[in-house]
Each structure stands twice: as structure tokens, then as C-alpha cells.
Structure 1
Amino acid sequence: MEELVTENPELYRNFTRTDRDIFSEIVERVKPCIQKKCTFWREPLTPGLRVATTLCFLATGDSYKSLQYAFRVAHNTISYIVPETCRAIVAVCRDEELQVPQTPEAWKQVAHGFEERWDFPHATGAIDGKHIRLRNPPLGGMHYYNYKKFFSMILLAIVDSSYKFLNVDVVAIGSKSDGGVFAQTCLCEMLAKQEATLPQPEALPDATNGVPVDYFLLGDDAFPLRNYLMKPCPKRGLSKEKIYCTTTD
């Protein structure tokens, strides 16, 4: 790790998905949770090594047996290190890093990012699902088997214009759709009941008609069209001429 950060910082960032300063900050913050005591028999693995192993596992998806050669730590030891370090990172950073906006002003700040960076006004977040591959749990049947033909759980996430997570949900079985998972979340219920403190509808920037437009999330075709959720035109059942007109419009 020291050689990598000194000789090629870009590869270091690719290896851990962080730069040296952020890596050091993570280590210092989780150190009280993962630091082990020295014993008469041996010295414990350092917190830095534990964090590096965990970040590399999360970044690459390599197996524990592959990682044992890179870090010179037995794969059965890594199988304890990764879950423990992940729990420590979540405990330390969850309240700071995963915060759904609680006020109209906070939602407007997110929308401002989408307008400035992506030229998409009134967008308060982008939502999508990701299938996390896993072994089928005991008695899981086909509940975890998804349309991509492997077993998984669904990570449903909302991010801002800079790809920073605002909300994460990882409880749904792989056979469900992204839209179905979202429909069962507390956030969706709050949005449907207008309890999510979204800003009041306003006219779009430079709009001449002054018609108020809702603030909304951005999703793909897997999600339903709602006042609080915008999706692309599906184009199903349209002729080539209508598809062309929809695309150019």
C-alpha cells in the first residue's frame, strides 16, 4: 500500500476507491471499533490493514481467497475482518453520510445541484436498484432468483447530482422489481402522502407560461410515473415515426 500510494496514486485510488487522506480519515474514525489488543501469542492485524482489505473487497468484489494473496492474510480471517469493518464504518458514518433531506430548503439544494451540473431542474435525486449477488439462503426457494438468472438481494439507492447517497435500502429479495421495492419503502409512502417535505411546485427556470411544476425523483422505466417520480417515455407500442418524434422532442 505504501509503495502504491507513493509510486502511482491513481492506481491506489482505483485499488481502494479513496485517496490517501480519505483512507487515513476512515482508519482513524473506525479504529476504536476494530482495534484489537495484543496478546502473548501474537500481535493483531492493524486497523489500516483491516480497512484496506475491506475497501478492496467492496471495490473489486474479489473472493476472500483471492484477497489473501494480496494482503497476506488467511481467507478465513478475512471472512471475519470484512463484516466487522463494514459494521464499524456504518456505525461511525451512517448518520453523517446517509441523510435524506428533511426540509424544503435541503431538497432545493439537491435540486440546484442537478440543475447546475446536469441541466435538469426540479430533480431531487436519482433512484435505481442494484442486484447484489449472493448464495441462495436455506429455504430460500426461488424468492431470491432474479430476472438476470442469479440469486440476489436488491440495493435500492437514491443519489444526488454528485453521486452521493441520500438513501439506501437493502432488504428486498431479488425476484422483486425496483418499482415494487420502492413502493414498500417509508420514503415512497411519505412522498405519496406529501409528507416528505418536498418544496412546493414552482415554475421551471426561464418558463414563459409560469405553470408550477412538482419537484421529483428521477428513475428508469422500472418505476411508475408519479408527480414525485419522473421516468423516460417507455416507447412501447409506438411506431418508428412516433419513436423518432419522441426522441427528437
Structure 2
Amino acid sequence: MEKENYTELLDKVTQMIIKTRTKLREPISPHERLSLTLRFLASGQTFEDLKFSTLIAPQTIGKIVIETCEAIIHVLKDNIKLPMNEMQWKKEAKQFKELWNFPHCIGSIDGKHINITKPPGSGSYYFNYKKNFSIILMAIVNANYEFLMVDVGVNGRASDAGVFKQTKFYEKLESKSLGIPESEILSESCGKIPFVLVADDAFPLTENIMKPYNHNTLKRDEITDYRVRGELLKTCSVY
């Protein structure tokens, strides 16, 4: 993290994590609390490991991390904003075309397993196909790798498609209440093309979600169609 970004974040959370000084001892400063939390989030070190570099008891570290994370969420939650009307979605699509030569793309969606320690009594509920225990972070990012939507907490056994269908975003996508623009003509050779989110093979193919053919079962005519669509997209990108 750049020094300027760290200083800005520290200024935002200080009033929420600062502790009152007592006659018995000095409180742990906001700077120590924030740097400790960021180190934990970035490295994945255990509280036991962190006690040696911070000289803070593991039990105290656990409380600090939770309190500081809650403060970070509170001050930064408004930085993640999902476009809510056609003009905002078209602005995202314009960036994808300019930066990645992909017209009518409004976001990229995928899931990420976040490894966790197995919760007591949870059995295999959080056990995933990678042989780890995890929860899943589902996210949509724009052309600049900035988050547009984040949903986290579903157990690691679920598939990306299953997690996606549990999000509020999916509900709004199905009800067509997100303000995504209707299909528009890119050029005479292309016809009307919908605005789409790009995803991998784990997601459903819908009007507003584009995914590749499954290469494991790809047929000869589908290979031809896949290549033709790719060339067509390149042609459309010229306009």
C-alpha cells in the first residue's frame, strides 16, 4: 500500500478505533491497530505468529482485527458503487472498449475462495473442491479492476453459479431492474448486440452474461461458430 493511501485510510478510521488513555497504561494507537489489521489481511498470518512482530497478545489481536475491519467497511463501503442507470452502464462499457477493445462489455464477474479455519461443528459444509475450507467472495469489476459489486460469505462447497444466484444482484438482473441498456446496433454487419458481463464456464449463459463454449465438449460446428463470432467481434470493434 502506498504511504498516501495508508495515511488517508488512517485518517478515516482513527476516530472509530482510537481508545481512551488510562492511568494504568497507554492504549494501542490507531496506527498500530490499522497496520496490524492490514498485515493480517495481506499475509494471512495467524494471531499467534503476529504476536512476535507486534508484541501484542493473540486475544487482543483478534479483537483489534475485528474492530478495525468493521471501521474500514464503514468508511469505505460507499466506494463500491454499482451503476444504476443506462448512462452509468454505458460509461463502464465505453471504458471496456477503450482499454480492452471489447464493445458492450459492462463488467467481469467471478468468484474467489477465501481460505478459513474450519468452524467448530461445521463438518464438510465449508470444504471445497480444492480440499480447503473456505467462504466465497463473488465480485464484479470494471475495466480498471475496480469493484462494482461484492458479495461474500457463502460456504465453499457451493459452485460459482450457485453463489451468484443467491446474490441480490442476480435477483435484480433477472427482474431487469438494474438499468442495463437494451441491445444496440454496433454496425450494419453486426446487428443488435446486448450489453454483457463476461464470465467463465461456471456461470449461466444469458442475454446479459457471456461465457465461452465448454472446450471439453466443443463440437466442430461450434468451433467454427466460435471463431466466426470472434472475427465478427473484431470487425465490430473497428466501428
Query: In the TM superposition, what is the alpha-carbon distance from 1:246 to its structure 2 partner?
Result: 4.5
Aligned to 1:234: 214
Q: Deviations over 1:149-196 (max 9, x none)?
A: 111111111111111111111131111101111112121121122111
Correspondence list, 1:62-81, <5 A? 62-81=45-64
Aligned to 2:179: 197
Aligned to 1:222: 202
Of the three residues 159, 164, 168, the one matched with 1:186 is 168
Which consecutive residues of structure 2, in runs of 5 or more, have no partner in the other structure?
231-239
Q: Find the aligned partners of 1:115 and 1:191 in 2 and give their Cα distance.
A: 22
Q: Find the aligned partners of 2:100 and 2:159 in 1 and give their Cα distance.
A: 27
1:56 aligns with 2:44: no
Instruction: Give the direction of change, closer, same or farther, for the CA distance of 1:239–1:211 in structure 2 (3 Å limit).
Output: closer
Correspondence list, 1:131-170, <5 A? 131-170=113-152
Which TM-score applies when normalising by structure 1? 0.85
Letter in 1 for 2:57: A
Of the three residues 75, 81, 95, the one matched with 1:99 is 81
> Which secondary structure does the structure 2 equivalent of 1:157 belong to?
strand
1:126 aligns with 2:108: yes
1:116 aligns with 2:98: yes
| Bigger mean CA deviation after superposition, 58-67 or 171-180 | 58-67
Letter in 2 for 1:71: T
Query: In the TM superposition, what is the alpha-carbon distance from 1:56 to its structure 2 partner?
Result: 1.4
Letter in 1 for 2:205: L
Cα RMSD of the aligned pairs, angstroms, is 2.0
> Which secondary structure does the structure 1 equivalent of 2:138 belong to?
strand
Aligned to 2:234: none
Structure 1 residue ranges, 4+ long, deviating more than 4 angstroms after superposition = 239-249
Q: Find the aligned partners of 1:110 and 1:68 in 2 and give their Cα distance.
A: 44
Instruction: Give the direction of change, closer, same or farther, for the CA distance of 1:240–1:103 in structure 2 (3 Å limit).
Output: closer
Letter in 1 for 2:208: Y
Instruction: Give the direction of change, closer, same or farther, for the CA distance of 1:246–1:202 in structure 2 (3 Å limit).
Output: closer
Aligned to 1:4: none
Which TM-score applies when normalising by structure 2? 0.88
| Bigger mean CA deviation after superposition, 211-220 or 138-147 | 138-147
